[in-house]
Amino acid sequence: METTASRPETLQAINDFIHGFLSYQPKAAGIIAAADADPEGPLVNAYAALLWMFLEHPIAPSKARPY
């Protein structure tokens, strides 16, 4: 399935997140800034929330909630 986004930067951040997450690279963390820059993008925001929840820390839900 093809992924689309309203901003090319958002699509690049989504691709970086997927590749970075699967290969344990720090570029996956760029999804947070991308979600902040594109608050209407559903997939980028879902991935940002997911990344925060992987923190497995009591603060994670409050960090993930805005996304």
Say if 1 falls within a structural domain.
no
Say if 2 falls within a structural domain.
no
Say if 57 falls within a structural domain.
yes
pLDDT at 1: 83
Q: Which of helix, strand or coil describes residue 13?
A: helix
pTM for this prediction:
0.91
Average pLDDT, the chain: 96
Q: Is 40 exposed, middle or buried (0-12, 13-18, 19+ CB in 10 A)?
A: exposed
Say if 43 falls within a structural domain.
yes
Going by pLDDT thresholds of 50, 70 and 90, the confidence category of residue 14 is very high
CA distances from 21 to 5, 6, 16, 40, 50 (A): 19, 22, 8, 22, 11
Tell me the average pLDDT across 18-44: 97
Q: Could you give the number of structural domains in the chain? A: 1
Residue 8 has pLDDT above 90, yes or no: yes
Tell me the average pLDDT across 48-67: 97
Say if 3 falls within a structural domain.
no
pLDDT at 45: 98
Q: Position 55: which residue type? A: L
Domain region containing 14:
8-64
